[in-house]
Amino acid sequence: MTARFDHVGISVPDLESAVVWYCKALRLSEEREFTVPGTDLRGMMLRYDNGYRIELLHRPSAASGLDADSPLEAAVTLGYGHICLSVDAPDEVDAEFARLVAAGAGARMTPRPAPRPGARMAFVADPYGNLIELIDRVSRRR
């Protein structure tokens, strides 16, 4: 058996607003809404055309967690730090960063060279403070 990545789950304070933002900002579509019987947990599985998924989860009693201003700050807390989305070319990091900020994401790290030679990266935060990295891996493979 070979395991492969399926999705990332993100707890959000307002499921409906999060679904709208993620679908618009990250161009995802609603795949399946669900509830967990016997609990107050509700969720929505979102999917991108190429198959990656983001599962948004909501419990009214959930407490706020880490709200990092940068990936370095997120790395001082064990656990989830960020999700990373790959773009097709270095200039697309800049374009996606600008598009996501215009869609309401918070700018956390402006586009710049990544630690990996030849790659470019940036970070934004969704409206709830969850970090999203943008990276160009294409130029690294050349």
User: Rounded to an integer, what distance in angstroms lies between the CA atom of residue 134 and that of residue 85?
Assistant: 5
Q: Note whether 7-58 and 71-141 share their fold.
A: yes
CB atoms within 10 A of CB 81: 18
Q: Which two three-digit tokens encode residue 86? A: 């790959």
| Nearest 10 degrees: Cα torsion 129, 105, 82, 91 | -160
CATH topology of domain 7-58: 2,3-Dihydroxybiphenyl 1,2-Dioxygenase; domain 1 (3.10.180)
Mean pLDDT in residue range 53-57: 95
Lowest pLDDT segment from 23-27, 43-47, 82-86: 82-86
Give Cα 22 to chain centroid, integer Å. 8
User: Rounded to an integer, what distance in angstroms lies between the CA atom of residue 103 and that of residue 123?
Assistant: 14
pTM across the whole model: 0.87
Q: Which CATH number fits domain 71-141: 3.10.180.10, 3.30.9.10, 1.20.910.10, 3.40.50.800?
A: 3.10.180.10
Residues forming beta bridges with residue 44, ordered by sequence position? 33, 56
Residue 116 has pLDDT above 90, yes or no: no
Mean pLDDT in residue range 41-60: 94
Q: Output phi, psi for 39, to 5 deg.
A: -135, 175
Give per-residue pLDDT as tens, 63-94: 888 788 888 888 887 777 899 999 987 789 99
